């Protein structure tokens, strides 16, 4: 009977070990998924911040540009120049370049925001993959436990048929 108890205990421990391994892997995958979701949330916040900062910088640049253009106009008027011809062309060219600078800063913010949004998407995908891995680990643990039980029964049947341990009428 001692052999019989040892066989059952070994099979039960092996099955429990498979289940525990599946649970531990699933918990680790769940933690990875939560970390990836957190990273995605941070990336989304960074994207919004990049857009807001670029918008504010662009507005600041435009305000500085308007002051600079006003100074140019005042200097031209003080020098007796009219807003025509080459004076108008120079101020127009300066205004165009200044607007380009403001638009460039806004574009840079959009590029950064897009990169952060893409990062958030990748992080969410990573979270999905981790959750799927956790589910597979649970299934694998259950299958492993079933295989351990089947293996234990096969050993018991083999030893019982060989007369090593008394049978329990399971034939």
Contact 148, 13 (CB under 8 A): no
Q: How many domains does the chain have?
A: 1
Instruction: Say if 126 falls within a structural domain.
Output: yes
What is d(CA 56, CA 74) in angstroms, rounded to the nearest whole number? 27
Query: Does the residue 57 lie in any domain?
Result: yes
Within-domain flag for 115: yes
Instruction: Find how far residue 81's CA is from the centre of its chain.
Output: 60
- Give pLDDT tens digits for 114-157: 999 999 999 999 999 999 999 999 999 999 999 999 999 888 88
Q: Which domain holds residue 40?
A: 2-161
Q: Is 80 left (phi over 0), alpha (psi -120 to 50) or beta?
A: left
In a domain, 151, yes or no: yes
Cα–Cα distances (Å) from 132 to 18, 33, 61, 150, in that order, read 18, 9, 48, 27
User: What's the pTM?
Assistant: 0.72
pLDDT digits (tens, 9 = 90+) for 85-113: 788 888 889 999 999 999 999 999 999 99
**Averaged pLDDT score across all residues of the chain:** 90
Q: How confident is the model at residue 166 (pLDDT cuts 50, 70, 90)?
A: low
| Domain assignment present for 171 | no
Tokens standing for 58?
Answer: 């662009």
Q: Evaluate whether residue 166 is within a structural domain.
A: no
In a domain, 59, yes or no: yes
Rg over alpha carbons for the chain, rounded to the nearest Å, is 36
In a domain? residue 170: no
């Amino acid at each position: 009977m001692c052999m019989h108890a040892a066989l059952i205990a070994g099979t039960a421990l092996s099955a429990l070990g498979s289940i525990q391994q599946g649970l531990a892997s699933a918990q680790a995958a769940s933690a990875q998924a939560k970390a990836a979701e957190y990273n995605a949330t941070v990336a989304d916040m960074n994207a919004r911040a990049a857009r807001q900062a670029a918008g504010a910088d662009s507005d600041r640049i435009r305000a500085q540009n308007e002051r600079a253009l006003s100074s140019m106009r005042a200097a031209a008027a003080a020098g007796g120049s009219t807003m025509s011809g080459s004076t108008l062309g120079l101020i127009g060219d300066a205004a165009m370049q200044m607007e380009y600078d403001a638009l460039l800063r806004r574009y840079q913010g959009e590029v950064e925001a897009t990169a952060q949004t893409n990062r958030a998407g990748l992080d969410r995908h990573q979270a999905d993959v981790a959750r799927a891995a956790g589910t597979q680990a649970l299934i694998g643990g259950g299958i492993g436990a079933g295989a351990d039980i089947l293996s234990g029964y096969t050993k018991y049947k083999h030893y019982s048929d060989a007369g090593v341990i008394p049978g329990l009428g399971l034939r």
